[in-house]
Amino acid sequence: MAALQGVVQPPAEIRLRKSQALVEITWADGHVSRLSCFQLRSACACSSCSQAMYRDGKRELDPAVMVTDIQPMGASGLQFFFSDGHSRGHFPWRYLRELPDITGLTEPRESAEPSVANPAVAPRPGVAQ
């Protein structure tokens, strides 16, 4: 994905779809990002998560982790509350917009390496709502 240019506007709508284990963000320009709860937890770049990655080279995360609540962080982004008790991360609008949409990750990508901006993909959520 090409880097976004300019300011990323806040989304028009944010939906937590617990039955599908994902957060759906509809942006002001009409683009829809579908991000799994595990993907969001994996993408947390707070100091404790960053230190764990630096110290251990990995983080042990429950693949069934859920987002339990979403709160605005001023006008700049969101704070997610996870079922594992974690809630320290700040997710700026640009960062959320640049995370890969799970609907576009149906085939394994050999060239894509896991990173904070491109976390390993979580198990696919079910289709039931």
89 Cβ contact partners less than 8 Å away, ≥ 6 residues apart:
44, 45, 46, 49, 79, 80
Give the pLDDT score at 1: 46
Name the phi and psi angles at 127, rounded to 5. -90, -10
pLDDT in tens, 89-113: 999 999 999 999 987 554 333 333 3
Domains of the chain, start order? 13-104 (3.30.2020.30)
Give the pLDDT score at 4: 56
Is pLDDT of 122 > 70?
Answer: no
- Two structure tokens written together for 71: 């709160």
pLDDT in tens, 34-51: 999 999 999 999 998 888
Is pLDDT of 15 > 90?
Answer: yes
Sheet containing 77-82: order of strands: 67-73, 77-82, 91-92
Across all residues in the chain, what is the average pLDDT?
80
Token match 């576009």: residue?
104
20-34, 50-64, 65-79, 109-123 — which is least confidently predicted?
Answer: 109-123
In contact, 21 and 41? CB cutoff 8 Å: no
